């Protein structure tokens, strides 16, 4: 008998036995500054005490129950999230992952409009389930056929959006593609084109929400209001949760029996998400994200870093010619700093816990300045 994992990940050789805040603890006692943050997941940092206590209390009080029952934990989450939302009236559905949140958003748009076309963008990543994979760049293998008609447009283009389009889905900042920001005026133009054609605008904020850009949602950062926002990753600071948030006018056009999930919105996920939302609302928290962001942006010009792109704590370090992100990642790791890579071999990605400080940026700067891979 044997059991092996399917070959999903190229694992990084790091003997991690624990984590505290923004640091990983290694078996040999060393500490690694984690600027990858579980890929935008560890909003409050690893092992946050208040979050742990809230989970433990909830486990003792009501560990799980069916979604056929109302729970205090769900009500508390909705109350904590509502003040963070972009203006307007919203409806929410809870699932367990980013891909599911996007499946539900697409399903809502297709059902509400009665149309069959979806427009997405080259370089997009929306997940690995059938509908989410269909609108993801083919660099991530999907299914043999898409569950609806897909038009893939160049980033920044309005091509393909017409009266047959149910939805246009995009990441406000394309993360895996290389922390690629929207060209000036693009999101506004998309909003106008969707209004003109009756298509729904879907923001995949799986990474960009939950305070990541220094405000609760990218929709607020860019000042453009989509019909539907999805998020996951950092929404419950490490507890699995997917959220599909639809403006009421969009939500009311969909049939009532469209959604369902056994685990989605369960009590433990709800308390983790409530604690996360409360902390984002605390005075100074998002200011701290913006201050840390400004400090990390000062990496521009240090060592092999030519420029810094992105916003908040979703940043891409653009490398000088002759240096690859993988080389830089490995060399930084040798100095006790973990960063991310992406599809673009010239971009190192930072997506740390939102509790990082300017002092952590100094640590990265020091490590970058020391790099032997500097061109």
Residues that bind ligand PLP (CB under 6 A): 97-99, 102, 125-127, 171, 175, 204, 206-207, 232
Cα separations (Å) of 222 from 10, 87, 203, 216, 266? 34, 13, 11, 12, 32
The smaller minimum CB distance to ligand PLP, of residues 214 and 304, is found at: 214
Annotate 87-142 with DSSP letters as a single string. Answer: SS-EEEEEESSHHHHHHHHHHHHHHHH---EEEEETT----SSHHHHHTS-TTS--
The smaller minimum CB distance to ligand PLP, of residues 156 and 358, is found at: 156
Sign of the torsion formed by the C-alpha atoms of 130, 131, 132 and 137: positive
The smaller minimum CB distance to ligand PLP, of residues 207 and 355, is found at: 207
Which residue has the closest beta carbon to ligand PLP? 98
C-alpha torsion 95→98→104→108, nearest 10: 130
Closest distance to ligand PLP from the beta carbon of 213 (Å): 13
Closest distance to ligand PLP from the beta carbon of 122 (Å): 14
Give the distance, in angstroms, between the CA of residue 230 and the centroid of all CA atoms in the same chain: 9
CA–CA separation, 194 and 353 (whole Å): 34
285-297 and 267-281 are packed helices; what angle lies between their axes, rounded to 10 degrees?
A: 70
What's 314's DSSP letter? E
**Residue 238's CB: how many other CB atoms inside 10 A?**
23
Closest distance to ligand PLP from the beta carbon of 239 (Å): 12
Return the exposure string of 244-277: e unless at least 16 CB atoms fall within 10 Å of the residue's CB, then b.
bbbbeebbebbeeeebeeeebbbbbbbbbbbbbb
Closest distance to ligand PLP from the beta carbon of 219 (Å): 14
Closest distance to ligand PLP from the beta carbon of 341 (Å): 13
Closest distance to ligand PLP from the beta carbon of 64 (Å): 20
Closest distance to ligand PLP from the beta carbon of 340 (Å): 11
CA–CA separation, 116 and 347 (whole Å): 36
Closest distance to ligand PLP from the beta carbon of 62 (Å): 25
The smaller minimum CB distance to ligand PLP, of residues 349 and 365, is found at: 349
CA–CA separation, 234 and 155 (whole Å): 25
- Pair of tokens at residue 221: 């950062």
What's 31's DSSP letter? E
The smaller minimum CB distance to ligand PLP, of residues 178 and 288, is found at: 178
Closest distance to ligand PLP from the beta carbon of 206 (Å): 4
The smaller minimum CB distance to ligand PLP, of residues 97 and 165, is found at: 97
The smaller minimum CB distance to ligand PLP, of residues 207 and 274, is found at: 207
The smaller minimum CB distance to ligand PLP, of residues 41 and 194, is found at: 41
Q: Residues 198, 163: contact at Cβ < 8 Å?
A: yes
Closest distance to ligand PLP from the beta carbon of 245 (Å): 14
| Residue indicated by tokens 């997506």 | 351
The smaller minimum CB distance to ligand PLP, of residues 37 and 127, is found at: 127
The smaller minimum CB distance to ligand PLP, of residues 12 and 249, is found at: 12
């Amino acid at each position: 008998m044997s059991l092996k994992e399917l070959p999903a990940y190229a694992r990084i050789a790091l003997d991690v036995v624990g984590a505290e805040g923004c640091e990983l603890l290694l078996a040999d006692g060393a500490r690694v500054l984690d600027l990858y943050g579980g890929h935008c997941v560890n909003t409050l940092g690893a092992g946050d005490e208040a979050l742990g206590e809230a989970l433990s209390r909830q486990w003792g009080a009501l560990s799980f129950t069916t979604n056929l029952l109302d729970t205090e934990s769900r009500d508390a989450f909705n109350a904590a999230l509502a003040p963070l939302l972009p203006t307007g009236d919203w409806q929410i559905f809870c699932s367990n992952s980013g891909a599911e949140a996007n499946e539900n958003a697409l399903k809502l748009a297709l059902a509400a409009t009665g149309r069959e076309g979806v427009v997405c963008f080259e370089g997009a990543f929306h997940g690995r389930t059938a509908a989410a994979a269909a609108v993801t760049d083919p660099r991530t293998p999907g299914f043999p056929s898409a569950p609806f008609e897909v038009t893939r447009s160049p980033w920044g283009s309005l091509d393909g959006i017409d009266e047959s389009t149910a939805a246009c889905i995009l990441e406000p900042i394309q993360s895996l593609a290389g922390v690629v920001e929207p060209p000036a005026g693009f999101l506004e133009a998309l909003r106008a084109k969707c209004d003109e054609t009756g298509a729904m605008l879907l923001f995949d904020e799986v990474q960009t929400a939950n305070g990541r850009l220094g405000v609760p949602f990218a929709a607020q950062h860019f000042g453009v209001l989509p019909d539907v926002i999805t998020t996951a990753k950092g929404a419950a600071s490490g507890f699995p949760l997917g959220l599909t948030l639809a403006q009421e006018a969009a939500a009311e056009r969909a049939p009532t029996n469209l959604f369902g999930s056994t685990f989605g919105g369960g009590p433990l996920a709800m308390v983790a998400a409530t604690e996360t939302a409360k902390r984002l609302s605390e005075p100074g928290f998002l200011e701290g994200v913006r201050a840390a962001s400004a400090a990390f942006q000062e990496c521009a010009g240090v060592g092999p870093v030519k420029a810094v792109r992105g916003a908040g704590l979703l940043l891409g370090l653009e490398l000088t010619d002759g240096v690859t992100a993988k080389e830089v990642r490995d060399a930084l790791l040798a100095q006790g700093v973990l960063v991310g890579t992406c599809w673009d071999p010239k971009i190192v990605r930072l997506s740390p816990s939102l509790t990082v400080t300017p002092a952590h940026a100094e640590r990265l700067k020091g490590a970058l300045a020391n790099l032997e891979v500097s061109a």
